[in-house]
Amino acid sequence: MPNLIFYQKIKINKGEYVKLNIFSAAQPSGIPTLGNYIGTIRSWNAFQKNYNSIYCIADLHAITKRQNPKLLLKNSLDLLSIYLSCDIDPKISTIFMQSHRPEHTQLSWMLSCYTYFGELKRMVQFKEKSKNNKNINIGLFSYPILMASDILLYQTHKVPAGLDQAQHIELSKLIAKRFNKIYNSNIFNVPELIITQSGSRIMALSNPKKKMSKSDKNKNNFISLLDSEESIIRKIKNAQTDSDQPPVIKYDVIKKPGISNLLCILSELTGKNIIELETYFSNKLYRDLKLEVIHTVLEHIKKIQKKYFSIRSKEKYLIEILQSGSEKAKKIANNTLSKVKNAIGLHS
Ligand code: TRP
């Protein structure tokens, strides 16, 4: 992750250096993909050293879609185990479950009184999620307010997330500024998005014009972090390339989306830049590129899986991490919530 170094800002406070606060979250809706790993989770680990980091499991966001009650906790523990396997360290970072902290829904109600219908109606993700959906519930609509509450409760400076979350984070900024202005205060830090993927997105393997997503109906389009070795090999071998003769291994998202996607995966995982890779692969075959991608992906994923399978069975340990994370989160969340209530004139 060579680009992360640029983001390590430290604020000076009364001659003292303080770490900035980072907050991010993912929904427990299935095992993350290689795209999620490269795009976000991997960077969370890198941020821990230089920021006060808080990472949340957004189970309340997940229920905007109907969930199987027997699977929700299991999915959350799966996700927690993935965080831990990607070396997010509970001794350094605060890791907790959104539904364990009532402050999130409390603040969410309050902030919904400072957010306009028109603002939510413009959200691209809401429009997309409403398509072909019989369950367009109010939670799906007010989802960005809960997200703003997640972020604003922890006096967040930076939110490492994918580009698809940019509009939600812009809204969080707007709400924070609006609230601060109304009450002539600095109750909320105004957060900023850190785009963690160096300007690129990991695309679906057999349709590289769309994003790699764990909800894709075609399982060949994504690599789950828990996929078996055989299926990873098969999926990469079958990834779409093109029929250029002679084969050209060059980054060109428009003309060569498949090759560009493979180069991008390789570049992200090895830290080598694309130009370096293009030179290395000049006069080589698509098969050579794929073999290299397979080798690199397996190297990363096997390490994660080894850790995952040793951690996932220790449910007591996992629950303890969430409990202590929730206690740590409580102090900060309570502090912000009382300031908000005071400002509004609500008294406890
Ligand atoms: N909505 C985010 C997603 O689906 C998850 C999320 C919830 C989040 N709360 C957040 C991300 C706060 C960043 C900050 O990916």
pLDDT tens digit sequence for 206-238: 999 999 999 899 999 999 999 999 999 999 999
Widest CA span of the chain, in angstroms?
73
Cβ-based neighbour number of residue 54 at 10 Å: 25
Which residue has the least CA distance to atom 9 on ligand 1?
A: 147
Does residue 129 have an active-site annotation? yes
Cβ-based neighbour number of residue 153 at 10 Å: 25
Which of 60, 126, 150 has most ligand 1 atoms within 8 Å of its beta carbon, as the pocket-test mutant? 150
Which of 164, 168, 197 has most ligand 1 atoms within 8 Å of its beta carbon, as the pocket-test mutant? 168
13 has a pLDDT exceeding 90? no
Give the model's confidence band at 5: pLDDT under 50 very low, under 70 low, under 90 confident, else very high: very low
196 has a pLDDT exceeding 80? no
Q: Are 127 and 141 in contact (CB under 8 A)?
A: no
Rounded CA-CA distance 151/267 in Å is 31
What are the φ/ψ torsions at residue 112 (nearest 5 degrees)? -65, -20
Span 88-130, pLDDT tens digits: 999 999 999 999 999 999 999 999 999 999 999 999 999 999 9
85 in a labelled binding site: no
Q: Which two tokens stand for residue 161?
A: 């997330």
HSE value, Cβ hemisphere, 13 Å, CA-based, for 230: 0
Q: Are 85 and 305 in contact (CB under 8 A)?
A: yes
- H helices of 2-133, in order, are 34-36, 42-47, 59-62, 69-85, 103-112, 117-121, 124-130
215 in a labelled binding site: yes
Single-letter amino acid code for the residue at 300: H
**How far apart are the CA of 57 and the centre of ligand 1, in A?**
9
Which residue has the least CA distance to atom 5 on ligand 1?
A: 26
Give the model's confidence band at 2: pLDDT under 50 very low, under 70 low, under 90 confident, else very high: very low
**33 in helix, strand or coil?**
strand
Residues above pLDDT 90, as percent of the chain:
89
Exposure string of 315-337, with b = 16+ CB inside 10 Å and e = fewer, is eeebeebbeebbebbeebbeebb
pTM (2 d.p.): 0.93
Which of 22-26, 64-68, 198-202, 239-243 bottoms out in mean pLDDT, i.e. has the lowest?
A: 198-202
**27 close to ligand 1 (CB < 6 Angstrom):** yes
Rounded CA-CA distance 310/317 in Å is 12
Would you say how long the chain is, in residues?
A: 348
Give the model's confidence band at 186: pLDDT under 50 very low, under 70 low, under 90 confident, else very high: very high
Residue bearing the bigger pLDDT, 39 or 188: 188
Residues above pLDDT 70, as percent of the chain:
95
What are the φ/ψ torsions at residue 94 (nearest 5 degrees)? -95, 120
**61 close to ligand 1 (CB < 6 Angstrom):** yes
Does residue 11 have an active-site annotation? no
**62 close to ligand 1 (CB < 6 Angstrom):** no
Rounded CA-CA distance 228/247 in Å is 29
**22 close to ligand 1 (CB < 6 Angstrom):** no
Single-letter amino acid code for the residue at 157: H
Give the model's confidence band at 334: pLDDT under 50 very low, under 70 low, under 90 confident, else very high: very high
**How far apart are the CA of 24 and the centre of ligand 1, in A?**
6
The domain spans of the chain are: 10-201+315-344, 229-310
107: phi > 0 → left, psi -120 to 50 → alpha, else beta; which? alpha
Q: Are 30 and 216 in contact (CB under 8 A)?
A: no
**How far apart are the CA of 26 and the centre of ligand 1, in A?**
5
Q: Which of 158, 173, 211, 290 is catalytic?
A: 211
HSE value, Cβ hemisphere, 13 Å, CA-based, for 80: 30
What number is the average pLDDT over the span 149-166? 94
Q: Are 123 and 167 in contact (CB under 8 A)?
A: yes
- H helices of 271-285, in order, are 274-280
**How far apart are the CA of 149 and the centre of ligand 1, in A?**
11
**How far apart are the CA of 148 and the centre of ligand 1, in A?**
9
Does residue 211 have an active-site annotation? yes
**CATH number of 229-310: 2.30.30.100, 1.10.240.10, 1.25.40.10, 3.60.150.10?**
1.10.240.10
Q: Are 162 and 138 in contact (CB under 8 A)?
A: no
Which residue has the least CA distance to atom 3 on ligand 1?
A: 26
Cβ-based neighbour number of residue 209 at 10 Å: 12
Residue bearing the bigger pLDDT, 10 or 86: 86
Give the model's confidence band at 39: pLDDT under 50 very low, under 70 low, under 90 confident, else very high: confident
Q: Are 168 and 193 in contact (CB under 8 A)?
A: no
- State the CATH class of domain 10-201+315-344: alpha beta
**165 close to ligand 1 (CB < 6 Angstrom):** yes
pLDDT of residue 4: 46
28 in a labelled binding site: yes
Average pLDDT over the chain, rounded to an integer: 94
Q: Which of 19, 129, 250, 314 is catalytic?
A: 129
pLDDT of residue 9: 55
49 has a pLDDT exceeding 50? yes
Rounded CA-CA distance 318/314 in Å is 6
Alpha-carbon dihedral sign for residues 179, 185, 189, 192: positive
Q: Which of 214, 235, 256, 290 is catalytic?
A: 214
